Amino acid sequence: MTLQAPCAAAAPANDFGHRPAGALQIAEVGAYTFETGRFLPSVEIAFETWGTLNEAGDNAILVAHALTGDTHVAPTEADPGSGWWESLLGAGRPIDPERWFVVAPAMVGGCYGSTGPASPDPEGEPWGSRFPFVTIRDSVHLEARLADQLGITEFHTVIGGSMGGARALEWAATYPDRVGGVAVFACGAASTAEQIAFGQAQIKAVENDPHFHGGDYYGGTVPEAGLQLARRIAHITYRTETELSVRFGREPQGREEPFGWSSRRRGRYQVESYLDHQAEKLSSRFDPNAYIVLTEALMSHDVGRGRGGAAQALQNITAVPFLAAVDSDRLYFPEQSREIAELLPGEHEVHMIASPIGHDGFLTSPDQLADQMRRTLGL
């Protein structure tokens, strides 16, 4: 395993996803042939860790991020900044680093240190449009190589939400002998037609940006407008009509007047300003190509593919399951979590996060399920 500076895989001209020095470790996990047959001569996986691995190598927990997430689940000594799931990871919390060795890898194809479209090829040029199609299963195989290098013999639990939930479920199906427990938040056994449709709309938003150039825009103007439009589409699905109505209603943004003097010159409603803000935040930190790669990976999610269908695949899972849904989620409906529960061996409860905000409730309120997680997974 080689350790390098964070974001060493990113093209210097577009330093997407930069984290403070020392926050990331990067492991070279070798050449890899993807499910589609495309080949990379070298793949790097970026990750952060908390806690200490025991001699047996079996006190590990893998935390898988969602679509635009990263490795920074909780503060570290090198990077004390807030993490995206620190209500679950920390002293006295369900995932306590005093007891567990926690690993959070950045998914291949992204822009947070792992090999992705902005990474240099052997000649030093960004892969760009030549980067392979990545599946959730590909990411799990590569994460298994990382686990091997770290000396992990078994994960006590693999946990994730949304795309991270897809990765967790795939881990349990692909490596049943290496996963003792699996926690799947706000995700189904396979991406539905509607979820694929939302993903396709976001991909087209990026690809139709005039600066996209087929994915080979590095060294030039980044297709930010397309990525921002994709984020607007996605963010609407992450929230609920009720939340948007209560927070913003039909109120104008400050002194802006939505009823302008022409259709091309008007002010914004508050909800428009909110979406603009979310779009600008993402485009300042994320590579548009990586957004496409990871969105397509999530669209490909189907734990039953090549395994005789979801029912057969889930029947073969031996890990102790913990299933969670958000009661107001309109992207991954709770019914999809109940389907997983029905297809797994035995009887299992779907634990519900009560939140008015929709899908993002798995990020903002997972601590509601802390006691249930401890009891079910033995944390």
Considering the candidates 79, 139, 329, 355, report the single residue annotated as catalytic: 329
The rounded distance, in Å, linking the Cα atoms of 163 and 173 is 15
- Helix locations, the chain, DSSP H: 136-150, 163-174, 193-207, 224-238, 241-247, 270-283, 288-299, 310-315, 334-343, 361-364, 370-377
What is the side-by-side strand order in the sheet with 155-161?
25-33, 39-50, 101-105, 60-64, 155-161, 181-185, 320-326, 350-353
In terms of Cβ atoms closer than 10 Å to its own Cβ (0-12, 13-18, 19+), residue 3 is exposed
Considering the candidates 114, 119, 162, 328, report the single residue annotated as catalytic: 162
Does 231 carry a binding-site annotation?
A: yes
The rounded distance, in Å, linking the Cα atoms of 147 and 149 is 5
Our answer to whether residue 359 is catalytic in this structure is: yes
Our answer to whether residue 211 is catalytic in this structure is: no
Does 70 carry a binding-site annotation?
A: no
Q: How many residues does the chain have?
A: 379
Query: Considering all CA atoms of the chain, what is the largest pairwise distance in Å, rounded to the nearest integer?
Result: 71
Q: Which of 326-343 are b and which e, b meaning 16 or more Cβ less than 10 Å from the residue's Cβ?
A: bebbebbbbebbbbbbeb
The rounded distance, in Å, linking the Cα atoms of 175 and 187 is 19
The rounded distance, in Å, linking the Cα atoms of 367 and 378 is 16
Our answer to whether residue 348 is catalytic in this structure is: no
Catalytic residue IDs: 162, 329, 359
Residues of the binding site for substrate: 231, 360
Residues of the binding site: 231, 360
